[in-house]
Structure 1
Amino acid sequence: MINRRSLMGAASVASVLPVQSLAAEDDLCAHVDPFIGTGGHGHTYPGATLPFGMVQLSPDTSNNGWDSCSGYHVKDGSIMGFSHTHLSGTGCADMLDCLVTPRTGAVVLNPGEPGQIEGSYRSRYTDEVASPGYYAVTLTDSRVRAELTATLRTGLHRYVFPAGEAGHLLIDWAHGQRNWWEKSPATKLDNTSLRLIGNDTLVGGRQVFMWAGGRWIFFALKLSRPFSRAELYQNDAPVGGNAAAGGKLKCALHFDDAGSAPLLVKVGISAVDIDGALKNLEAEQPGFDFEGTRRAAHLAWQSELSRIRVDLSDPNDRKVFYTAHYHSLLAPTLFSDVDRRYRGMDNQVHRLKPGEENYSTYSLWDTYRAAHPLYTLTQGPRLPGMIGGLARMGQESPAGAPIWPLQGRETDTMIGYHSAAVLAEACVKGVPGVDYKAAYKVIRKRAFDDDVHGFGLYRQLGYIPADKVDESVSRTLEFAYSDWCASKLAAAVGAHEDARKLRERSRNYRNLFDSYIHFMRGKKADGSWVTPYFPQSLGHDQKRWRDYTETNGWQATFLNQHDLYGYMQMFGGEKAFESKLDALFNAPSDLDHGSLDDISGLVGQYAHGNEPSHHVAYLYAYAGALPKTQSRVRMLMKAMYRAEPNGLEGNEDCGQMSAWYVLSALGLYTVDPVSGVYVFGSPLVNRARLALGNGRHLSIVAEGNGPDKVYVSGMRLNGKAWSRSWISHDTLMRGGELRFLMSATPNPAFGARLADRPPSFV
């Protein structure tokens, strides 16, 4: 164990220097391109939403394919309609609730498939426009111009039909994501209902049994003018009356005068009940003021984006940066009604106390790495709600510590128990308004009692055996990191014996390190290594097991985030560890047969397209080779992010892919978020100004920066020389000026002394 210094030490500088404003009048929304990531494997959506908004009103091009996890992909070629809930950049599929499709001609109930327009209610499209809080498109087959905008809990549509023609709206309440790998994929629903109220309102509810199994969703839809007639359908057969329940429900609202004036449609949603959806609609969208709502959405985004203002020489870099910042602010999503009611993880309805907030959509395996650390810098007012809500989930959920909570349900997706990382980071950084003792009770139960995903074997043997549990290597390593995080939370709440045990257990990574070949590999329950072993492989027996989670032996060997100095010794010291890092980046990029699409963005065997690699380029700093971090990080920013639909090398994953870029472009990254430490890289920005949310600002200056000036020759904090390759969160939050002195040649002395390297395992 290396325990060389406190995180503060002599680094604290209390003075706050004045910093220059960066183009305060600039319209930052103009630099955002929501279409970045809608191609390739980015899995983003281009529609209208607000920062962390509950409604994501966006076009659906497909609900049946991995690359359409968000409901949209640029290659699909046709639009089914516009639904109100979407996931940003995930690898699993759900949502797409309350599809509204404007059409002319006869009612068609068949949704069709991409490339199969005839006989379906799909339409080809042209003239797409998207900016934060706004989306527009022309549906060429339907000849309707559609525009979308949103508030936190409502969506507002504006449709212009062909002049002088009739038209209708089809509301497909059977529509949702499907499991594309099944033989006959379908959206699994129960408790479905639709009901007409008067001649201008439609309400409905349903329970969805897809990824977030058993989640509830309700909607209330109101029209700017009455419909001429309405038709309800059950299992694609017309039914009489004003209400229908059970089966696959749809509704057609007809307008004989559709082309006489724009038709506006407002929709409120709720996970509680129809009354909640109506209240959300009345509170946030009392009228049909499309331009006013659009302006308010624009201003909300301008306010959020302006928390980080940057000067970048390349306009494409500026577009990539602000789009990345935009994408990082889409999740977690608000998940409570205006009357403070919400549906908890126990499937019961609860009411928040005044001032509390509730959120959903925590992709914790991804976002603990960079998205949540970014929020601790710029989202201070929201943190008590985000972190407090996560702690509350653990208390309410029958599943215990949150893993991947979505819409009041636990998806139990991915590995480790990384709610411990987010809670511990918040505690270490002093986020107020969170009951950390109550949160630790939930984390402690997972750490010491629960037997999930091989955790019982992990506690018994010190590792998960590869012949008993799949993905055993990754599970062991990530349980070890979660143990480290839990130990920090335990220490903070006074559970010191727990902290000691968890701290020691967090070194279980040693049990799967093969000191002969210097790779992490699978081990059987009897203690023998699994064979055959190839570091570019997913594991020893891919038909039954994989030894790794969305990685291979190369990438998993660098999963250690918390005990770097202890880990280096297993390779033979820091130089040997540095050489192993070099080997990772220089290895052939060949992948074993049967590899996963998630292993993407390859540089050698480093895979930037998936989160387990995101900290790896910064590990050189711990070995005293900071210039290699600088050159690698600058290369990754330029190679892995582009201002085009196929501009992300992997899934966006609820903001993590983008948050890596935002932090790295500022010259900072959190290898171990619960340490409260940021490691320096190579800033892409010339200057940046961060509003820290505490009345202070941080100015970042990259003096002499340029495409060929990727190295940092030295640094200054508030005018004073700074020799360390890292900085603490507390120091950053004091504000002032952090100045990087950029150079075309490396300075191997900067950050090389052991005393100047980032702390680890402290």
Structure 2
Amino acid sequence: MTTASRRELLVGSGLAALGATLPGDAIAARPDPLRPDLFIGTGGHGHTYPGPTLPFGMVQLGPDTDNTRWDSCSGYHQGDGSIMGFSHTHLSGTGIGDMLDVLVVPTRGPLELQAGVLGKPDEGYRQRFSEELAEPGYYRVRLESGVLAELTVTERTGLHRYTFPQGPGHLLIDFAHAVVDTWDKGTLVEQASLTLSPDGMLTGSRRVNRWAKGRHIHFAMQLSRRPDRVQFFSEDQSQPAGANTVTGKRLKAALFFDNAGAAPVLVKTGISAVDLAGARQALSTEAPGWTFDATRRTAARTWAQALDCIRVEGGTPAQRTIMASALYHALLSPTLFTDVDGRYVGLDRQVHKAAAGTPAYSTYSLWDTYRALHPLLTLVRPEMAERFARDLVRQTQESPTGPPVWPLQGVETACMIGWHAVSVMAEACAKGIKADYAAAWPQIRRRAFDRDFPDIDSTLGRGFYYDLGFIPADKVWESVSRTQEYAYDDWAMAVLADAAGAREDAATLRKRSLNYRNVISQEVGFARPRFADGSWWTPYDPIQLGHNPEKQRDYTEANGWQATFLNQHDVYGLIELFGGDAAFERKLDALFTAPSTLPRNAPPDISGLVGQYAHGNEPDQHAAYLYAYAGAPWKTQAMVRRLLTEMYKADPDGVIGNDDCGQTSAWFILSSLGFYPVDPVSGVYVFGSPLFDAAELDLGGRKLRIRTTGNGPDAPYIQSVQWNGQPWTRGWISHADLAKGGELVFAMGTRPSRFGAAKADRPPSYGRGPA
């Protein structure tokens, strides 16, 4: 990938421009479809997986290489060298592991019941592999036993085709397989059962206590050929011959074929979080026959249509591959959670039935995805944005703790801080996406004001927040970040209060959303822990994680540098705290040029450092765009281009940190198009530096065309902009404008310009422009 040096980006290099100017009608011939590389993000700390699924599908089928370490949160890590088997559920890009349900191990030779450890691939049932191929909706690999494994999917079923060499072989169904919980010593799997029915269908149910404590998974599995014999195991003890059911905690079933190579063995598995009837119905409805190749073609067509929402021209081949892969990862979650008949498990742990056309979803990584993924979907998948808004309204009503935090498989994990479902709902509401937001308001209001409303880990310290205007570091952990993020949720809740007609509540929440200022110390110029008596942590060190990092942190996956720029909704207020535009610009410069040192106990999430800016984690992924508010948009443009070209690669280690259910990918997509939602709730996008010569977006029927002139690796600076043929002086554009469709043209250059620098042209924030 071609990249420019930091000096070239910041001051211009005078190199010959490499990007050719497009003629005005060139975009009329649509750019070529994007072709993703599903292995991008499977190395490094990206935590993605290469197995097949459908856009937002329930089943995520794929290979598992490890289930014991942080870098295998998705069950797969490129370079592990051996495969344990193929399970039906995975998480993409998360920083905590779970799922990996219903592992199928096709192999030959003596039966092994244990996978063996990663470093010893000749022990246990794990196998080396070769000839690995991954495409949207299809995965293939050859295992060292000689078995050719192929996988494809429908929304709720996984289809396998195993071609064995001649001679005996077997399938092991490891129903004890899961992400190993090394920090929680509780029982991982309980209430498990396996049953083989007279028609040859294998069914199973279990309860899992990993991240989503107490989630249920049910499956129904059919084979195209009857095995010659079946053997059940409980706690690795063989059950009596002829047994057709087994219960326990660690259950497995071995299906033996005397001549496995006589014909391919096809396996189809339906899953449900509700019950076995739901799993069976998934099979009968979505996979009634044995049409592996037809299902694969359908999955490929589904993905081709989904990925066709964005096409680009220009850039390097690697950048186009990164774009395609980022879009693929941005369409993986949230994941479908309703059975064929509409039933699902709510956050109250009860079974509900969704109305037709309003399915329920799971896997909302909201602390991450409210920032860029959900804003992206409001543009290119508005129908899905509406589904998610309606689903979050419903989940807010059903949840005992109100607006969701990190719901996974019918369980509120309460992971991270804040309750950012309100941001996704408020953004959708502000953008005119229809949902019954007023129906969610009673539960949202309880979270906003009711001291007796049950607190969970993500909402601790609200009483201090109400009374003191901040959360004291000597009372609650991660106090600084909590204060800031609770303030942003106040900002979002104000929009929802207005939608419910609660005008006084809205005014109170908007005023309270300024509480973030109470942890910005003007004395030292940083977000700084303070204590219940009002005093500040001293001596202050912005590199450290807090006042007593050995016991607790005062920031969430950040330090003082990164947390200082966490504010998204009141940028001009933050600028005032720092003494005005010039001082704030200098502070941003210092963020990007400070030594990239971290404390020895810093979490691995703080990665992708440029100075103290950490692109590999979410808290300040908007920070490069803040220059535009201080009248230095050319610095936004230079830094955004640098991040686009340095933080993403077209190889397995191509995502600088966890992809976090598509958030880091969505940052690339939006930024490479030329704009980014610093404050999603505002419905405003700030211009950055478009990477490609041309792009076309399908906005749900309308077309948005983006074109650049004079673009190239050494030309990151916007010289001027046109919108629908007319000059556009603002350094930002609204969602309402973009959603109508039209043509946005950026004239680019090698030198900074004053485009967007005038106060009248700077982005609005907190409902106003700069003072």
Same fold by TM-score greater than 0.5: yes
CA distance in 2, matches of 1:27, 1:623: 38
Match of 2:213 in 1: 213
CA distance in 1, matches of 2:276, 2:320: 43
List aligned pairs for 1:483-632, cutoff 5 A.
483-632=490-639
* Aligned AA (1:445): R
1:545 deviates by 1.5
- 8 Å CA contact 1:678–1:729 kept in 2: the answer is yes
Distance of aligned partners of 1:306 and 1:687 in 2 relative to their CA distance in 1, 3 Å threshold: same
Matched, 1:62 2:60: no
CA distance in 2, matches of 1:224, 1:611: 46
Distance of aligned partners of 1:22 and 1:305 in 2 relative to their CA distance in 1, 3 Å threshold: farther
CA distance in 2, matches of 1:526, 1:463: 11
CA deviations on 1:396-432 (whole Å, 9 max, x unpaired) are: 1122220000000000000011111001000000112
- 8 Å CA contact 1:360–1:405 kept in 2: the answer is yes
Counterpart secondary structure, 1:459 = helix
Q: How many residues align?
A: 736
CA deviations on 1:680-706 (whole Å, 9 max, x unpaired) are: 00000111111100x210000011211
| Candidates 259, 268, 271, aligned match of 1:269 | 271
CA deviations on 1:85-116 (whole Å, 9 max, x unpaired) are: 00000011110000000010121101212112
Counterpart secondary structure, 2:668 = helix
Distance of aligned partners of 1:108 and 1:76 in 2 relative to their CA distance in 1, 3 Å threshold: same
1:286 deviates by 1.1
Q: Structure 1 segments of 4 or more deviating over 6 A?
A: none
1:187 deviates by 6.6
Counterpart secondary structure, 2:533 = coil
Distance of aligned partners of 1:277 and 1:18 in 2 relative to their CA distance in 1, 3 Å threshold: farther
Match of 1:761 in 2: 766
Counterpart secondary structure, 2:205 = strand
Match of 2:466 in 1: 459
CA deviations on 1:728-751 (whole Å, 9 max, x unpaired) are: 10100111100001111111x211
Matched, 1:175 2:181: no
1:147 deviates by 0.8
| Candidates 335, 348, 363, aligned match of 2:365 | 363
Matched, 1:99 2:99: no
| Candidates 103, 121, 128, aligned match of 1:124 | 128
Matched, 1:744 2:750: yes
CA distance in 2, matches of 1:208, 1:235: 16
CA deviations on 1:118-139 (whole Å, 9 max, x unpaired) are: 3311111111111111111111
CA distance in 2, matches of 1:532, 1:66: 34
1:23 deviates by 4.0
CA distance in 1, matches of 2:479, 2:246: 49
List aligned pairs for 1:367-516, cutoff 5 A.
367-432=369-434, 434-449=435-450, 450=453, 451=455, 452-516=459-523
* Aligned AA (1:378): V
1:348 deviates by 1.2
CA RMSD in angstroms comes to 1.3
* Aligned AA (1:616): A
Counterpart secondary structure, 2:634 = helix
In terms of mean alpha carbon deviation, does 255-264 or 406-415 score higher? 255-264
* Aligned AA (1:230): V
Counterpart secondary structure, 1:56 = coil
* Aligned AA (1:709): A
Counterpart secondary structure, 1:377 = helix
* Aligned AA (2:227): F
CA deviations on 1:265-294 (whole Å, 9 max, x unpaired) are: 111100111110011111111111111111
Counterpart secondary structure, 2:83 = coil
CA distance in 2, matches of 1:334, 1:415: 24
1:22 deviates by 5.0
Match of 1:325 in 2: 327
Matched, 1:159 2:151: no
CA distance in 2, matches of 1:358, 1:591: 41
Counterpart secondary structure, 1:617 = helix
- 8 Å CA contact 1:174–1:250 kept in 2: the answer is yes
- 8 Å CA contact 1:19–1:736 kept in 2: the answer is no
- 8 Å CA contact 2:98–2:179 kept in 1: the answer is yes
CA distance in 2, matches of 1:386, 1:532: 45
CA distance in 1, matches of 2:381, 2:315: 27
* Aligned AA (2:385): L
Match of 1:353 in 2: 355
CA distance in 2, matches of 1:401, 1:202: 38
Counterpart secondary structure, 2:279 = helix
Matched, 1:195 2:195: yes
Distance of aligned partners of 1:628 and 1:123 in 2 relative to their CA distance in 1, 3 Å threshold: same
Match of 2:17 in 1: none
CA deviations on 1:344-400 (whole Å, 9 max, x unpaired) are: 111111111121111000000000000000000011222222111111111111222
CA distance in 1, matches of 2:447, 2:186: 34
* Aligned AA (2:742): G
Counterpart secondary structure, 1:612 = coil
1:533 deviates by 1.8
* Aligned AA (1:259): G
Counterpart secondary structure, 1:457 = helix
In terms of mean alpha carbon deviation, does 414-423 or 450-459 score higher? 450-459
CA distance in 2, matches of 1:635, 1:380: 30
CA distance in 1, matches of 2:98, 2:704: 39
* Aligned AA (2:73): C
1:438 deviates by 1.3
- 8 Å CA contact 2:315–2:691 kept in 1: the answer is no
Among all aligned residue pairs of Structure 1 and Structure 2, give the percentage whose two residues are the same amino acid.
57
List aligned pairs for 1:607-756, cutoff 5 A.
607-693=614-700, 695-747=701-753, 749-756=754-761
CA distance in 2, matches of 1:604, 1:497: 43
CA deviations on 1:621-656 (whole Å, 9 max, x unpaired) are: 111111000000000000000001111110000010
CA distance in 1, matches of 2:259, 2:539: 71
User: Any gaps of 5 or more consecutive residues in structure 2?
Assistant: 1-23
* Aligned AA (2:346): G
- 8 Å CA contact 2:628–2:731 kept in 1: the answer is yes
In terms of mean alpha carbon deviation, does 648-657 or 348-357 score higher? 348-357
Counterpart secondary structure, 1:506 = helix
Distance of aligned partners of 1:232 and 1:647 in 2 relative to their CA distance in 1, 3 Å threshold: same
- 8 Å CA contact 2:702–2:741 kept in 1: the answer is yes
Counterpart secondary structure, 1:33 = coil
User: Any gaps of 5 or more consecutive residues in structure 1?
Assistant: 1-16
* Aligned AA (1:81): G
1:186 deviates by 8.0
* Aligned AA (1:403): V
Match of 1:34 in 2: 38
- 8 Å CA contact 1:200–1:225 kept in 2: the answer is no
CA distance in 2, matches of 1:340, 1:273: 13
Match of 2:252 in 1: 250
What TM-score, normalized to structure 1?
0.95
CA distance in 2, matches of 1:206, 1:422: 32
Counterpart secondary structure, 1:136 = strand
CA distance in 1, matches of 2:186, 2:90: 18
CA distance in 2, matches of 1:295, 1:586: 50
- 8 Å CA contact 2:33–2:308 kept in 1: the answer is no
CA distance in 2, matches of 1:108, 1:186: 26
* Aligned AA (2:211): W
1:492 deviates by 2.5
Counterpart secondary structure, 2:213 = coil
CA distance in 1, matches of 2:186, 2:348: 26
1:245 deviates by 1.3
* Aligned AA (1:696): R
1:544 deviates by 1.6
CA distance in 2, matches of 1:19, 1:307: 18
Counterpart secondary structure, 1:46 = coil
CA deviations on 1:216-247 (whole Å, 9 max, x unpaired) are: 11001111111111011000011131001122
